[in-house]
Chain A
């Protein structure tokens, strides 16, 4: 059974850097074609894909946020970390990580809510 859980601060100040961790079980990032995506959802808004890291350390970023995002993995610890710099109140959202098989985000974490406010 695949499970993922997001963790990180619930409140960050504007201009700070956000660091979120996705801790997963039931799969390995050593497996071919496996990846972990990060997706966010601002209150009342649509899903927005942010970043994806594959088993071979191939990384993809949202073009609109690429300059602010970094995604890394720790395969031995079953963790994927997303950092987002220069946080702004518009970045207030629920952040999800998801197991990704090629192009399919087939299992999602419960999400973690981040508020950006001074």
Chain B
């Protein structure tokens, strides 16, 4: 069966520090991968999605970047965090982009202080 791992679960970082959140998927190959942010309130904002290695699309201009160094690994990064980067970050995967369910990790609660 497929599983998705996301870490760390919580993170407190000072303003201006770098960020690296990692997500890996097991039990499937060539998954579509997604990073979402859930700020105060409930909405899910799509940040990045990737249909393959070196194929990453950014949905909104921001202080973040994403990379996919391996087929089943997706990394969310920032060189210098802003207070506004605080939020709940969720990684997700799907088999076929936009044609089936996306399965979410357990999320990372990021607080920038």
A binds B: no
Interface residues of B (CB under 8 A from A): none
Interface residues of A (CB under 8 A from B): none
